[in-house]
Structure 1
Amino acid sequence: MNKEITINGLDSINEAAKEFVNNMGDAKVFAFYGKMGAGKTTFIKAICDCLGVVDTVTSPTFAIVNEYQSDTVDYPIYHFDFYRIKKLEEVYDMGYEDYFYGGGICLIEWPELIEDLLPEDAVHVDIKENEDGTRSVKF
C-alpha cells in the first residue's frame, strides 16, 4: 500500500479513519509509528469507532493490550501499546502469536520495540505532525 491520508483536525478525524478502514483490505496487523504526541492513540480510537467498537477505547499503556468487540465485524479488535515493554520476554509471555495470527485486527502503538516479532505482512503506518498542525498518515 502506498496511501496518504491527511487529518486536518479533530473535526475531520472520523473521515480520515473511514478512509483508512476502507483501505485496510485483508490485512490484520497494523503497526503505528510516530513520535510521542503524533496522534496514534487518537487515530486508533477513531478507527475503532469506524469498525463499530462499542466499548470505551483507551490506551492500553499499562495493560499492554485491550480487546474490543464490534457491532459490525465478527472478530476481536486488539489495541496494543508496547511503550512500557522492557524486554521481548514480556511479549512472549503474553502470547503475542495468539493475537498477531489469531484472525483479529491488531492495532499496535510503539511497534519499533517489538519489530522482530511483527508478522511479515504487518502494515507499516506512519503518523506525523506537520508544521501547520495537520497530521499525515502514510501506509
Structure 2
Amino acid sequence: MEILFSLDEITQVAQKILHENPAKVMVFNGPMGAGKTTLIKVLSQTLGVNEATSSPTFSLVNEYENQQGEKIYHFDMYRLKSEMEALDFGIEDYLYSGHWCFIEWAEKIPNLLPDQYARVDLSVLPDGKRKLALQVS
C-alpha cells in the first residue's frame, strides 16, 4: 500500500494502516523529520492509548497501555551501538510478546527482528507532503 498525505491527514493514514491487519511488530524507516514518531503516536491513539506519548530516544523503549489493557511498545534504536545492547535490555521478550511493537531505526537491529513484521517507509516530498509505503508480511 502506498499513500501520499499531509500531516493533517495522519489520523486517517493510521486507520488505513491498521485496516491492513499488519503484523504487530512494525518497523518505521525514514530520515529524521519524516514523521515516524508522529505516526506512531497517532497509531497508539488509534489503538486506544489515552496517555501522552513521546519519543523513547533516551529510554530506548516506552510502554503504553490502551483502554483494553493491551500493551503497546515504542522503540527508538537510534542510539544503539550494537545489537548486543538491544539484547541486554531484553528486546526479544518485547518482540515475541504478542503486543504491538513500533520500532524506529530498526536497521540497527536487523538480525533481531522476527520473521514476520510490517515495514513502513516514510519520506518527505518537496511540497512537504509525506509518502508512505506499507509492506505487510
Shorter chain as denominator, the TM-score bin is over 0.9
Aligned residue for 1:115, secondary structure, equals coil
Deviation at 1:115, TM superposition (A): 1.0
Gaps of 5+ in 1: none
Correspondence for 1:55 among 51, 58, 68 = 51
Correspondence for 2:94 among 95, 99, 113 = 99
Cα deviation digits, residues 46-72 of structure 1 (max 9, x gap)? 111101101211000000000100015
TM-score norm. by structure 1 comes to: 0.91
Deviation at 1:131, TM superposition (A): 1.4
Q: Aligned equivalents of 1:124 and 1:15: distance in 2?
A: 18
Name the count of aligned residue pairs. 134
Contact 1:30–1:107 at 8 Å: present in 2 too?
Answer: yes
What corresponds to 2:65 in structure 1? 69
Cα deviation digits, residues 12-46 of structure 1 (max 9, x gap)? 11111111121134x11001000111110011111
What corresponds to 1:123 in structure 2? 118
Letter of the structure 1 residue corresponding to residue 66 of structure 2: S
Q: Aligned equivalents of 1:8 and 1:58: distance in 2?
A: 21
- Between the aligned residues of both structures, percent identity stands at 45
Matches within 5 A, 1:1-139: 3-9=1-7, 11-25=8-22, 27-72=23-68, 74-139=69-134
Q: Aligned equivalents of 1:24 and 1:90: distance in 2?
A: 30
Deviation at 1:81, TM superposition (A): 0.1
Gaps of 5+ in 2: none
**After TM superposition, which residue ranges in structure 1, 4 or more long, deviate above 4 angstroms?**
none
Deviation at 1:87, TM superposition (A): 1.6
Q: Aligned equivalents of 2:43 and 2:5: distance in 1?
A: 13
TM-score norm. by structure 2 comes to: 0.93
